Amino acid sequence: MIRINRLIFFVFLLLSCSTLDAQIVPIKASGIVARSIAVFTPAGFDRSETPSLILKHKFQITAPVPKGWKLRPQFSLNDEKASAVFDLKGEISLYGGGEVTGPLLRNGQSIELWNTDNGAYGTDNGKRLYQTHPWVLGVRKDGTAFGIIFDSSWKAVLITNSDKIEYSSEGALFKVYVIDRRSPQEVLKGLAELTGTMEMPPLWALGYHQCRFSYGSEEKVRSIASTFREKKIPCDAIWMDIDYMEGFRVFTFNKKNFPDPKTLNDDLHKQGFKTVYMIDPGVKVDSGYSVYRSGTANDVWVKQPNGKEYHGKVWPGDCAFPDFTMPRTRNWWSGLYKNFMQTGIDGIWNDMNEPAVNDNELPADHRLGTMPYTTPHRGGGDLPAGPHLLYHNAYGRLMVEASREGIIAADPEKRPFVLTRANLLGGQRFAATWTGDNLADPRFMKLSVPMSLTLGLSGQPFSGPDIGGFLENTSGELWAQWIGFGTFLPFARGHACAGTNDKEPWAFGSAIERTSRIALERRYRLLPYLYTLFYNSYKTGLPVMSPVFFDDPGDMRLRSEDQAFLLGNKLLVVPAYAKDPALPKGVWENLSLVEGDRSDAYQAKLFIKGGSIIPAGKVVQSTTEDLLAPLTLFVCLDAKGKASGELYWDAGQSWAYKKGDHSLLKFEAIKKGKTVKIIVSSRTGNYKIEKDLKALQAVVIDKRMTYRGSGDLKNGISVVTR
């Protein structure tokens, strides 16, 4: 609802500007700047109508925006709906928008920012998906870059044309933040300065995950776990979809098929597995159900405008929904995890939290797939009361914040792992994500690379698709192609929908089982490098997985490449399906990690950059084993005969790394004559890595030849080459 003082302001503005269109009102803005970040606030902005659910850190005022600052929004109102437009000049490549379909390069694209349960991305041809990221990254021809945050959670449309960026909301005025820096990497650091970074995940979360909707009994779960170990296919986590519940009631267990979850989880732990269980927001309306009774007693449910409980149909039937805008609701929700997690659960999967509502009983022109726009949310604390049109895009983000807090409270010594389907820009602080209900089709396989890249460019470094495709049957050929590169995405999980064929790594015959084993062994060998990248992302906000143009932002050839991708800045991944990808210039040598990874046609090609040292572990079946026994340093010299790299390591699950109980080793290599000397050039942190690092060896890749040596951290390694 518009406040009276705003109405007076708009009437005055209309009367004083007779030449203006009667429906579209330009709004003046003031701006401040600090650290190459400017914030523009339109006249009449009211935080009680557009609260910030995106920013973590308040912007510190330092000075007015200088006159030479070129990127300035033009605010306007059209029938009380606010918009902002940026006019662009020059050749600019546009990226971002978060979870989107289509190409990496977003010039000429339009998306609707309205979180939607969108199976196979079919709704509106994929123009709206499960998450909202009102964010654009622009890269100029010279490699300098800018980023724009539209700080609003109202339903909106984002258009990114080459000459104009336009954000049109269905709600009140909002602030705009502009970051303008010398490179896209520095812009993403600025995004992190405002929205925060993800916390370090537990090490096991970087392993391979196996899931199905659903593994319907304890016996089936045990069979899946045993088969992984019998076939020596690496895996760290087994996931439980909704069939583990009693009648799809959240925070319960099916007494017939999952009678003893504590023993099940304990037994899986003994085999080196972690477990992840799904929790949806919809709570079955049932007076005999303790969670519903508790929620009713605490008055936490979303209500209709007439004050009655809002009910919508989800898996259990009629459901009530927590109003996460209220602090007491979030506290109540967090408290539900205590007893649940005590059964030995390791991670939580928040799904259906757009929130998705099955309203198919309504006429087709009245179906929303969620709550009606006018459904009120009561707010509290820093959040004002407001309609669902304002809070819909933030619903999943508020849910995972409460979930994360509850999981931490249940076991304060361990880092939590939360995966979410719905989220908002800045939500990387609370949960990892996957790209929703994709389809077992080569188009979706190829789409998963630009989708994950774009999420990384939008502040979410921990993402990946359902490997193999969730919906419909998967062929052995498709699985092999997908697993061959999918294991190098930040989040690696195989998943399958009910009614589809089996999609475990061994389900397609012995040849593709071997392909799967090779692909997963490659990921596990690279876990020390990946863990280091996650630490760097936690510290800086830089993505784990990057577009190839990050190697040289000024190289226009690379701007639209979305088949190949970088892991960090030292490793290049080229999927087997890639056709004539645009690759960075310079020295890039083929990197072989396990036997068969060059001869298997489905494996992605890996290239190490000249001047790089990449730390790798040994092949293990899970992260509970001694991954650094030994630690191998893959060394690729640059044209000057030098290389450098680093390794971050800690205990893997605790918070002690924040107090210095970690180890950050920096390595340097230099070639003199025929000898390459690799040393530890610096060492920080208090973690005694020697207890994990049983041996140290090096592989020097020089002009397609490899040379090996061994040594220790104190004395380094000398490798003799030809």
> Is residue 107 within 8 Å of 97, Cβ to Cβ?
no
- What pLDDT does residue 6 have? 35
Q: Judge whether 649 lies within some domain.
A: yes
- Is 227 found in the same domain as 188? no
Q: Judge whether 364 lies within some domain.
A: no
* pLDDT higher than threshold 90 for residue 368: no
- Is 172 found in the same domain as 117? yes
Q: 553-562, pLDDT tens digit by residue?
A: 999 999 999 9
Q: Which residues contact 368 (CB under 8 A, 6 or more apart)?
A: 357, 359
- What pLDDT does residue 113 have? 98
Angle between helices 184-195 and 527-540 (to 10 degrees): 70
Instruction: With residue 74 as reference, give the H or E element that holds it.
Output: strand 74-78
- Identify the sign of the CA torsion 278, 279, 282, 284: positive
- What pLDDT does residue 664 have? 98
Catalytic residue among 117, 241, 323, 354: 354
Q: 407-446, pLDDT tens digit by residue?
A: 999 999 999 999 999 999 999 999 999 999 999 999 999 9
The arithmetic mean of pLDDT across residues 467-474, rounded, is 98
- Is 164 found in the same domain as 224? no
pLDDT-based confidence at 20, cuts 50/70/90?
Answer: very low
- Is 613 found in the same domain as 558? yes
* CA 616 – CA 618 distance, rounded (Å): 7
CATH of the domain at 190: 2.60.40.1760
pLDDT-based confidence at 14, cuts 50/70/90?
Answer: very low
* CA 697 – CA 617 distance, rounded (Å): 10
Residue 143 CB coordination number (10 Å): 15
* pLDDT higher than threshold 60 for residue 519: yes
- Is 37 found in the same domain as 167? yes
> Is residue 636 within 8 Å of 699, Cβ to Cβ?
no
Distance of CA 674 to the CA centre of its chain: 44
Torsion-angle region of residue 57: left (phi > 0), alpha (psi -120 to 50) or beta? beta
- Is 522 found in the same domain as 631? no
Q: Catalytic residue at 354?
A: yes
- Is 605 found in the same domain as 656? yes
SS3 assignment for 523-557: HHHCHHHHHHHHHHHHHHCCCCEECHHHHCCCCHH
Beta strands in 487-640 (DSSP E): 492-494, 545-546, 565-567, 571-574, 588-590, 605-609, 612-616, 631-636
3-state secondary structure of 216: coil
Which one of 472, 495, 529 terminates a domain? Answer: 529
The arithmetic mean of pLDDT across residues 693-717, rounded, is 94
- What pLDDT does residue 18 have? 27
Q: What integer best gives the mean pLDDT of the chain?
A: 94
Count structural domains, the chain: 3
What is the reported pTM? 0.95
* CA 32 – CA 175 distance, rounded (Å): 12
pLDDT-based confidence at 588, cuts 50/70/90?
Answer: very high
Q: 146-176, pLDDT tens digit by residue?
A: 999 999 999 999 999 999 999 999 999 999 9
Q: Judge whether 494 lies within some domain.
A: yes
pLDDT-based confidence at 636, cuts 50/70/90?
Answer: very high
- Is 144 found in the same domain as 164? yes
* CA 246 – CA 163 distance, rounded (Å): 54
Question: Which domain does 654 fall in, by range?
Answer: 537-720
Q: Judge whether 137 lies within some domain.
A: yes
Residue length, the chain? Answer: 722
**Terminal CA-to-CA distance of the chain, rounded, Å?**
76
- What pLDDT does residue 722 have? 86
Q: Catalytic residue at 323?
A: no
Q: Catalytic residue at 552?
A: no
Q: Judge whether 315 lies within some domain.
A: no
Catalytic residue among 49, 351, 521, 650: 351
Q: What angle do CA 25, 74, 92 make, to 5 degrees?
A: 150
* CA 673 – CA 290 distance, rounded (Å): 74
- Is 185 found in the same domain as 57? yes
* CA 207 – CA 492 distance, rounded (Å): 7
* CA 592 – CA 300 distance, rounded (Å): 55
Q: Judge whether 703 lies within some domain.
A: yes
- What DSSP state is assigned to residue 66? P
> Is residue 534 within 8 Å of 657, Cβ to Cβ?
no
CATH of the domain at 240: 3.20.20.80
Burial class (CB in 10 A: 0-12, 13-18, 19+), 548: buried
* CA 165 – CA 86 distance, rounded (Å): 5
- Is 435 found in the same domain as 411? yes
- What pLDDT does residue 16 have? 29
Which one of 529, 550, 585 terminates a domain? Answer: 529
Catalytic residue among 49, 437, 466, 597: 437
Q: Judge whether 294 lies within some domain.
A: no
- Is 253 found in the same domain as 132? no
Mark 257-287 as b/e (b = at least 16 C-beta within 10 Å). Answer: bbeebeebbebbeebbbbbbbbbbbbbbbbe
* pLDDT higher than threshold 90 for residue 28: no
Which one of 143, 167, 195 terminates a domain? Answer: 195
- What pLDDT does residue 346 have? 98
> Is residue 74 within 8 Å of 43, Cβ to Cβ?
no
Q: Judge whether 362 lies within some domain.
A: no
Distances (CA, A) of 542 to 135, 188, 191, 456, 611: 15, 6, 9, 8, 20
Closest CA to 390 of 27, 135, 49: 49
Q: Which residues contact 363 (CB under 8 A, 6 or more apart)?
A: none
Instruction: With residue 683 as reference, give the H or E element that holds it.
Output: strand 675-684
Half-sphere exposure of 673 (CA within 13 A, CB side): 4
pLDDT-based confidence at 57, cuts 50/70/90?
Answer: confident
- Is 524 found in the same domain as 398? yes
Specify the residue for token string 């330009």.
26
> Is residue 7 within 8 Å of 46, Cβ to Cβ?
no
Cis before residue 450, ω within 30 degrees of 0? no
- What DSSP state is assigned to residue 619? -
* pLDDT higher than threshold 60 for residue 308: yes
- Identify the sign of the CA torsion 480, 481, 482, 487: positive
CATH of the domain at 665: 2.60.40.1180
